[in-house]
Chains A and B, each alone.
Chain A
Amino acid sequence: MSPGMSPLQRMGRWIGQHLVLAGGILVLIYMFVPIFVVVLMSFNDPKSRLVYRFDGFTLQNWLNPCADAAMCSAVSRSIQIGLLATLIATVLGTMMAFALVRHRFHGRSVANLAIFLPMASPEIVLGSSLLALFVAAGFAGQLGFWTILIAHIMFCLSFVVITVRARLAGLDNNLEQAAMDLYANERQTFLRVTFPLVFPGILGAALLAFSLSFDDFIITNLNAGNTTTFPMYVWGVAQRGVPMQVNVVGTVMFVISVAIVVGVELNRRRQEKALAR
């Protein structure tokens, strides 16, 4: 025991030192409360389809995830759109990021601005302007899967560029020069050094793009025409009684994404350890 401090002082100091951490943990709990509810409700056995509250425990929702076929087709449509949008946006966005970081040319600032602007536009504006275009161009009748996909790629693109660009900018130029010094030609340098180093950034961007696409309601709703995605389905059922299977989907999405993030992190650590050895 330190003689200079009373127990009260020590306690005060301890609280002072841990106050911020405690606050941070409280904020995290705030972020997780609805997730707990989602997981809990996925095991709910509702007495009435009209009342959204926990009535009893059941596994039924998990055993029959597709009790409402419309939900499952909406989910699979959202996944299809999400995967396609992610793939295309990630490829295009990564190319743009490389161009912006590794190449000098006229109009860079314009390009940067063009990438920033979609992020600075509220979704409702993005969605309505796309709709205005489709209507004016006579594509109103074609609204559906493809128009949703076009819109999703558009708004994912900026996020991909920003994420990959950040990773690329943080990369040590010397590594590439070292590779060239060690007889790697430009293509080999890219494949053996640059790409593996940027890959975590690209993967992060792809994850972000997928979740943005899978989650989007506002832009999609304006440009979906007759097609229903998962968020649109949820929006619809929110007005007439939510099937608990919606929470199953929410829980599965949560678990898969956390597994991916944790997997990537563990893999990184393993590699680091292997390197350290």
Chain B
Amino acid sequence: MAGESPGPTAGSGAGRTTSRAPGASRRTFLKGAGIGAFALGSAAVLPLFGSASAVQDPATCRATDVSQRDKRLVVSNWPAYIDVAEAGDDQYVTTLQEFEERTGISVSYTDDVNDNAEFFARVRNQLGACEPIDRDMMMLTDWMAARMIGLGWVQPISAERVPNLHANLIEPLRGRQWDPDREFSAPWQSGLTGIAYNASLTDEVGSFEALMTRDDLRGRITLLSEMRDTMAFMLKVTGGDPDDFTDDDWYNAIDYLRGRVRAGQVRAFTGNEYIQDLTAGNIVACEAWSGDVIQAQFDNPDIKFVVPEEGLNLWSDNMLVPNKATHLENAEAWIDYYYEPAVAAKLAAWVNYICPVEGAREEMEKIDPDLVDNFLIFPSEDDLADTFDFMALDEAQNRQYEGDWSDVTSG
């Protein structure tokens, strides 16, 4: 750090003592004064750095809808979340191709949503500043959809243009407190969170309690990094109710999790990548999403999905139209299209998640009768009777719990 060494030491040995001392001390003084002034000035400037609220009003933060003259639609979705033609199958027409043919809208579709929080981070700065994110539609899970709607970042969907949505949405997904009338969101697919295991490597794992305590699983399980998914079950295991819990319930649950993590039971908290570790044999059991497991079973029949004894966690990924999207009407056409039962059934037959569309089950008879009775795709009213959801959190709770959560997941 050459810059910090005081001047006089640089002089040669001779003649430094008397003649230079006054000059040096004056220089040191000047230097000190300069640094002091600089520091004071800096301190005065610091408060200027602040950042404004990111809340927007969708009514004012909107772009002119050019859907009529610009027949395009930009969609961001999770990976492997839409049907594609198998290699070598020229006959199959995907739902997306059919949509394009029927409406004349060309869709640019990307699967760049890996994680709700990560996606939020990616678009936060733009949406918070009322800037376009160059997408007309994104699919986000309930809690994140709720958060974005709360921040005013999502455009309302006109009910007249999506009649199929309001007619065909299955009952359990109606009346969600964060968007009771489906004014801003439409479920794309729903799913269950449960346990998956590799039957060639371990016995059945029937409950989260077993997953978290069995010695033969130590270090060979993963949990999901989505706080709500995992903590719902931790609350259940420790006797709390994810739909309605107190701070004490929360601390019990998080302490339980921390204890198990410290004991080395949990190998990692993961996003979608758990399914690779499971198929590769790096882990033998894990918390999992139903659709992923059904897809993995095609490659490896030893992969099994279990509804844990603690109950079912039902969630949806929702289609949202962000502020400043320029193709709102095309997006609405897309939503309405995917709420046609035949289309929904075709999609469900491929992605294997719970289909949110009434009447799709009947259509499925024509496509793949084997799947009709799969309760992971078409659960009955009874199946869904004891599903639970994670209660809505305000910003303060969210910050508090997310903080606790990241303490545990970061060791």
Any A–B CB pair closer than 8 Å: yes
| Contact-size category for A | 20 to 34
Residue in chain B with minimal CB distance to A49? B80
Please, which residues of chain B bring their CB within 8 A of the CB of A48? 279, 296, 299-300
With A48-B279, A142-B131 known to touch, is A239 a contact of B271 (CB < 8 Å)? yes
Please, which residues of chain A bring their CB within 8 A of the CB of B296? 48, 50
Residue in chain A with minimal CB distance to B76? A226
Please, which residues of chain B bring their CB within 8 A of the CB of A50? 275-276, 279-280, 296, 299
Please, which residues of chain A bring their CB within 8 A of the CB of B126? 140-141, 143, 225-226
CB-CB contacts below 8 Å: B269-284 with A: 270-273, 275-276, 279-280
With A53-B280, A113-B1, A240-B79 known to touch, is A225 a contact of B125 (CB < 8 Å)? yes
Please, which residues of chain A bring their CB within 8 A of the CB of B5? 109
* Minimum C-beta distance from A13 to chain B (A): 47
CA distance in complex: A144, B133 (Å): 10
A238 at the interface (CB under 8 A from B): yes
B130 at the interface (CB under 8 A from A): yes
* Minimum C-beta distance from B170 to chain A (A): 27
With A52-B276, A143-B126 known to touch, is A136 a contact of B51 (CB < 8 Å)? yes
Contact string against B for A residues 57-80, beta-carbon threshold 8 Å, 1 for contact and 0 otherwise? 000000000000010000000000
Q: Across the interface, do B112 and A239 meet the contact criterion of CB distance under 8 Å?
A: no
Q: Across the interface, do B276 and A141 meet the contact criterion of CB distance under 8 Å?
A: no
With A70-B112, A110-B3, A225-B122 known to touch, is A239 a contact of B272 (CB < 8 Å)? yes
A132 at the interface (CB under 8 A from B): yes
Q: Across the interface, do A70 and B114 meet the contact criterion of CB distance under 8 Å?
A: no
CA distance in complex: A47, B79 (Å): 18
Please, which residues of chain B bring their CB within 8 A of the CB of A226? 122-123, 126, 133-134
A135 at the interface (CB under 8 A from B): yes
CA distance in complex: A170, B372 (Å): 77
* Minimum C-beta distance from A162 to chain B (A): 14
Q: How many A-B residue pairs have CB under 8 A?
A: 86
Please, which residues of chain A bring their CB within 8 A of the CB of B115? 239
B110 at the interface (CB under 8 A from A): yes
With A51-B279, A51-B299 known to touch, is A143 a contact of B125 (CB < 8 Å)? yes
Counting chain B CB atoms within 10 Å of each CB, which of A70, A134, A226 scores highest? A226
Q: Across the interface, do A240 and B3 meet the contact criterion of CB distance under 8 Å?
A: no
* Minimum C-beta distance from A123 to chain B (A): 17
CA distance in complex: A47, B300 (Å): 11
Please, which residues of chain B bring their CB within 8 A of the CB of A142? 131
* Minimum C-beta distance from B353 to chain A (A): 15
A4 at the interface (CB under 8 A from B): no
Q: Across the interface, do B280 and A52 meet the contact criterion of CB distance under 8 Å?
A: yes
* Minimum C-beta distance from B197 to chain A (A): 15
Residue in chain A with minimal CB distance to B126? A141
Q: Across the interface, do B275 and A113 meet the contact criterion of CB distance under 8 Å?
A: no
CA distance in complex: A50, B79 (Å): 12
* Minimum C-beta distance from A34 to chain B (A): 18
A7 at the interface (CB under 8 A from B): no
Please, which residues of chain A bring their CB within 8 A of the CB of B2? 109, 112-113
Q: Across the interface, do B125 and A140 meet the contact criterion of CB distance under 8 Å?
A: yes
Please, which residues of chain B bring their CB within 8 A of the CB of A140? 51, 124-126, 128-129
A56 at the interface (CB under 8 A from B): no
Please, which residues of chain A bring their CB within 8 A of the CB of B280? 50-53
* Minimum C-beta distance from B365 to chain A (A): 29
A241 at the interface (CB under 8 A from B): yes
CB-CB contacts below 8 Å: B80-122 with A: 80, 110-112, 114-115, 122
Residue in chain B with minimal CB distance to A140? B125
CA distance in complex: A241, B80 (Å): 10
CA distance in complex: A238, B279 (Å): 15
Residue in chain B with minimal CB distance to A131? B125
Known: A140-B129, A141-B129. 13 other contacts (CB 8 A): A48-B299, A51-B280, A109-B3, A109-B5, A113-B2, A116-B1, A132-B49, A136-B50, A140-B124, A141-B125, A141-B128, A225-B125, A226-B123
11 interchain pairs, CB-CB under 8 A:
A50-B280, A50-B299, A51-B276, A110-B3, A113-B1, A140-B129, A226-B126, A236-B112, A236-B114, A240-B272, A241-B276
A-B pairs, 4 with minimum CB distance: A141-B131, A141-B129, A140-B125, A113-B3
